Amino acid sequence: MRIAIGSDHGGIVLKPAILAYLKEKNIEYFDFGTFDTASVDYPVYAKKVAEAVASGEFDKGILLCGTGIGMSIAANKVKGIRAAVLSDEFSAAACSAHNNANVLCLGGRVISPEKAVKLADLWLSTPFEGDRHMRRLGLIAEMDERK
């Protein structure tokens, strides 16, 4: 499992805890930045991470911004990306089980680092259920094709 990470200045507060969690779990990652709290444009990082996942170079991506919303809007513009922004445990499991989300978006101004780790762990450890959800993801993939 290889994970691509991206953040803006609003999400960087969550990054140390997420990286520590990935290290502890022996999950390989690459950090696409940003690396400090200077103001940057979140779509730049969303594009880097989403394209790295869509190309198959990475299995999944984690994007951090103030709310997670901007990162999810931008990442979902890339074909093949199913980015989910979350702040609760139920959705963290459901976005894997039902939506097979390949990018997780979290907000540094919304949740604590501890909560971010909990949500990332649920997202990574919950398997996709397939079955009827495959059909639904197929309908989304058709939308990607018609772009």
Is 33 an interacting residue with respect to ligand RB5 (CB under 6 A)?
A: no
Looking at the Cβ atoms of 8 and 51, the one nearer to ligand RB5 is 8
| 137 part of the interface to ligand RB5, by CB under 6 A | no
Q: Give CA–CA dist 144/139, Å, rounded.
A: 9
Q: Tell me whether residue 65 is one of the annotated catalytic residues.
A: yes
Compare residues 66 and 80 and give the one whose CB is closer to ligand RB5: 66
Minimal distance in Å, beta carbon 42 to ligand RB5? 5
- Rounded distance, CA 12 to CA 98, Å? 28
Burial of 111 from C-beta contacts in 10 A (0-12 / 13-18 / 19+): buried
From CA 17, how far away is CA 136, in angstroms rounded?
Answer: 33
Residues lying near ligand RB5 in the complex (CB under 6 A) are found at 8, 10, 42, 65-67, 69-70
Residues annotated as catalytic (active site), given as ranges: 65, 98
